[in-house]
Amino acid sequence: MTSTKKVLIEVTNLTKSFIDGPVATHVLKGVDMTVYEGEFVAIMGRSGAGKSTFLYQVSLLDNPTGGSIKINGHNVDNFSNEEKTRFRLTELGYVFQDYSLLPELTACENIMIPLLMQGLSRKTARDRAIKALASVNLDHRENNLPSELSGGEQQRVSIARAITHKPRILFADEPTANLDSFSSNLVMDIFKKLNKEDGLTIVMVTHEEEFGKMADRIVKLADGMVV
Ligand SMILES: Nc1ncnc2c1ncn2[C@@H]1O[C@H](COP(=O)(O)OP(=O)(O)O)[C@@H](O)[C@H]1O
Ligand SMILES: [Mg+2]
């Protein structure tokens, strides 16, 4: 069997500046990066290096100032906002450092939201959400509110939410930053399993060397550039 690596993400000369009145903050200063299908890439660098800003641009949560992003052959820069939303809902998953669960909804309902937004029926969305909870060993937590869960459990719900629609790429921004080492290891085990067993492409920001080393490759960002 020949193994031709397929380029999944191609970022070229990406720039992002924030303009606040007369003050311009140039955060990304021409980032180039290629991610291949099935890769697990860790993005590392000091606080303020631009890691979160980078992830926001590549996962279509924000609009870059310049450069281009190609995902699975699509020039996503040219997408309308509607196309971006649809693309995110179907092709991408995102895990935030602070979990970003809706506090008034149960674990199961939080996971159902993006599926309902995709147009799935409540029944199908619920079935899929329960399966996703089981895949992160939280089947017994289906009806709990986020406030009734530990930080580690909330992050696992957030991972379940990010993978129920079977995205092509999973983005995670410092997913273990607020967790103790036991919970962090559970989260990393889930990521490794998703990558190795399901072939999911993962782009994870971390400042923890220990977890960065678990990826196939580390990309270092410093002062808005790859070093
Ligand atoms: N919305 C914004 N407006 C102005 N500056 C911002 C904004 N978002 C981020 N920055 C600045 O960009 C730099 C990089 O931020 P960030 O991408 O969050 O870094 P990291 O995730 O590597 O810690 C920081 O100096 C931050 O203050
Ligand atoms: Mg950050």
Where do the structural domains in the chain lie, given as residue ranges? 7-226
Cβ of 66 below 6 Å from ligand 1: no
The H-or-E segment that residue 38 falls in is none
Q: What kind of fold does domain 7-226 have according to CATH?
A: Rossmann fold (3.40.50)
CB 17 within 8 A of CB 65: yes
pTM value?
Answer: 0.95
Nearest to 70 by CA among 137, 12, 152, 155: 12
In whole angstroms, what is the distance from residue 129 CA to residue 132 CA?
A: 5
Cβ of 48 below 6 Å from ligand 1: yes
CA of 36 to the centre of ligand 2 (A): 23
Per-residue pLDDT for the chain (227 aa), expressed as one digit of tens each? Answer: 556 789 999 999 999 999 999 999 999 999 999 999 999 999 999 999 999 999 999 999 999 999 999 999 999 999 999 999 999 999 999 999 999 999 999 999 999 999 999 999 999 999 999 999 999 999 999 999 999 999 999 999 999 999 999 999 999 999 999 999 999 999 999 999 999 999 999 999 999 999 999 999 999 999 999 99
Residue owning the nearest CA to atom 25 of ligand 1? 48
Ligand 1 atom closest to the Cα of residue 47 is: 23
In whole angstroms, what is the distance from residue 43 CA to residue 28 CA?
A: 14
Query: Can you say whether the dihedral through the CA atoms of 188, 193, 195, 200 is positive or negative?
Result: negative
CA of 23 to the centre of ligand 1 (A): 14
Ligand 1 atom closest to the Cα of residue 54 is: 17
Beta-ladder partners of 218:
42
In whole angstroms, what is the distance from residue 51 CA to residue 193 CA?
A: 24
